[in-house]
């Protein structure tokens, strides 16, 4: 019975894609882009989104060859059992570090703006523990959580950001296309970083009844995220200009902080924004967390993944407190995602697909 329950609907795949992609990065995204691409940032987001669609296509194609299975299960078929276990273990390390990083950045922001007297350890631990609760519910629980959170996160977030348009000077987005080729390769890693979350499709598509539907539904998710990122970048750049955004740690938060709503019952919206953002981080974390526990259960050959949720808490916590200061925290994504993660998300699936194709593994009757 439980097995039959582990199914996610196509709409949930859209929600999972969106909520996994939008994580801690949205606060710092405008700065990273402004540093790398200057006024071409908006174009770069668009290019990043389109490229992501292609990579997502590769991931889903790989999954479609093995319907009803996720990466740790079918990688064994493709490259053999032992190499697959090693690969799964690498993914486990990556996921642990990633969840730790997300928790840490959230802890830093909450400590700085909301709970200045609470020890950061308490903030980090409580969010990790809150995640274990969702993860123990299994994949269906994750899918539903995303489905429920999605409107609650998106609608208020956009409503909060829109009033700032009155203050925006859209000429700050100019010149567009000037010097784009030279900045393209500098900005591409930043985009890889902000879109890296869809790598989890390798795990979630396996739980779909009709994995082929993921092509459309995950694309919709990526398109929504691309538009959302563009909105953030446009608003921040037009409000502050490239040079000021470069100097802000969290431009989006500064943007919301400077949106002034005179006469409204709340004058400052940054607290609300941070509250919503914690949800965004939470959903990203549970999405990765489930992939982590699921990989562990495959690695150790257990039927359930529940029991690993609590066991991983100390490891995630350790990963989150490893950076000594914020400068180190800020560099984490560069090493973790740009180098390590990119290989796992872009290169490994492509190699797997090629090997599967050469060795004629997987049910590929209809595929060319």
Partner 1 sequence: MKVKRLVILSIIVAFTLLLTACWDLLEIENRSFVLSIGIDKADKKESEDEGLDLENEGSESDETKSGGKEEEAKSKDKGKSDSNEKESDEENKYKITFVNPDTAESEEGKVLDFMTYDTEAISYSTGAIKLLQRFSKAHNFEHTKVIFLGRSLLEDGELVKNTVDILGRWRHLHSSMLMYMAVDKAGDIFKVKPKSKTLLSNYIEGIAEHNKEAARIVKVTFKDFAKQIITSEGHAALPILIPCKDEVESTGMGIIKDYKLIGELDEKETIAYMWCNGKAKGGVIECRCSNCAVPLIYRYFKRKIKLDKIEGSTVYLTFEMVTDGAIEEYTLGKKLLENKKLKDIEEKLEKVVIEDSTALIKKMQQEYKVDLIGVKEYLSKYHPRLHKKVSEDYDDFFQNDLKIKVEAKVKVRRIGKTV
Question: Which window, 125-133, 243-251, 303-311, 340-348, contacts partner 1 (CB under 8 A)?
Answer: 243-251
Q: What angle do CA 301, 307, 312 make, to 5 degrees?
A: 100
Q: Which is nearer to partner 1, 83 or 271 (CB)?
A: 271
Q: Give me the sign of the Cα torsion angle 319, 25, 333, 52.
A: positive
Using CA atoms, how far apart are residues 16 and 150, in angstroms rounded to an integer? 9
CA nearest 71: which of 326, 355, 283, 352? 352
| Binding characters for partner 1, 113-132, by CB under 8 A (x = yes) | x---xx--------------
CA atoms within 13 A on the CB side of 136: 12
> Closest approach of Cβ 12 to partner 1, in Å?
32
Using CA atoms, how far apart are residues 166 and 336, in angstroms rounded to an integer? 38
Using CA atoms, how far apart are residues 25 and 253, in angstroms rounded to an integer? 12
> Closest approach of Cβ 322 to partner 1, in Å?
24
Residue 166 near partner 1 by CB under 8 A: no
Question: Which window, 12-20, 25-33, 127-135, 254-262, contacts partner 1 (CB under 8 A)?
Answer: 254-262
Q: Give me the sign of the Cα torsion angle 322, 328, 329, 335.
A: negative
Residue 328 near partner 1 by CB under 8 A: no
Q: What is the DSSP string of 281-328?
A: HHHHHHHHHHHHHHHHHHHHT-S-STHHHHHTHHHHHHHHH-S-SHHH
Q: Which is nearer to partner 1, 142 or 273 (CB)?
A: 273
| Binding characters for partner 1, 181-220, by CB under 8 A (x = yes) | ----------------------------------------
Residue 247 near partner 1 by CB under 8 A: yes
Map the footprint of partner 1 across residues 77-116, applying CB under 8 A. Answer: 112-113
User: For partner 1, which residue of 85, 144, 213, 257 counts as binding (CB under 8 A)?
Assistant: 257
> Which residues contact partner 1 by CB under 8 A?
112-113, 117-118, 171-172, 174-175, 178-179, 239-244, 247, 254, 257-258, 260, 267-268
């Amino acid at each position: 019975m439980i097995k039959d329950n582990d199914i996610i609907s196509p709409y949930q795949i859209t929600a999972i894609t969106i909520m996994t992609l939008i994580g801690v990065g949205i606060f710092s995204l405008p700065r990273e882009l402004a540093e790398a691409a200057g006024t071409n940032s908006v174009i770069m987001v668009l290019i990043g989104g389109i490229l992501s669609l292609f990579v997502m296509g590769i991931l889903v194609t790989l999954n479609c060859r093995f319907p009803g299975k996720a990466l740790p299960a079918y990688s064994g078929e493709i490259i053999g059992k032992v190499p697959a276990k090693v690969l799964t273990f690498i993914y486990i390390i990556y996921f642990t570090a990633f969840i730790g990083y997300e928790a840490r950045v959230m802890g830093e922001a909450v400590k700085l703006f909301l709970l200045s007297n609470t020890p950061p350890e308490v903030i980090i631990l409580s969010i990790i523990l809150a995640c274990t609760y969702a993860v123990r519910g299994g994949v269906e629980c994750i899918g539903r959580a995303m489905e429920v959170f999605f409107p609650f996160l998106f609608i208020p977030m956009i409503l909060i950001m829109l009033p700032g348009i009155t203050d925006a000077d859209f000429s700050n987005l100019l010149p567009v296309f000037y010097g784009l080729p030279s900045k393209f390769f500098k900005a591409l890693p930043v985009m890889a970083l902000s879109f890296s979350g869809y790598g989890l499709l390798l795990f979630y598509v396996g739980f779909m009844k009709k994995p082929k539907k993921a092509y459309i539904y995950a694309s919709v998710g990526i398109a929504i995220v691309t538009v959302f990122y563009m909105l953030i970048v446009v608003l921040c750049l037009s409000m502050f200009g490239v040079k000021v955004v470069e100097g802000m740690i969290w431009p989006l938060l500064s943007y919301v902080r400077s949106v002034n709503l005179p006469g409204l019952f709340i004058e400052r919206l940054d607290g609300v924004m941070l509250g919503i953002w914690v949800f965004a981080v939470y959903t990203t974390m549970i999405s990765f967390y489930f992939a982590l526990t699921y990989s562990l259960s495959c690695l150790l050959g257990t039927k359930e993944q529940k029991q690993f949720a609590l066991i991983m808490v100390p490891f995630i916590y350790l990963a989150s407190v490893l950076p000594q200061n914020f400068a180190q925290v800020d560099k984490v994504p560069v090493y973790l995602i740009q180098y390590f993660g990119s290989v796992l998300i872009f290169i490994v699936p492509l190699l797997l697909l090629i090997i599967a194709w050469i060795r004629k593994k997987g049910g590929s009757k209809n595929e060319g």
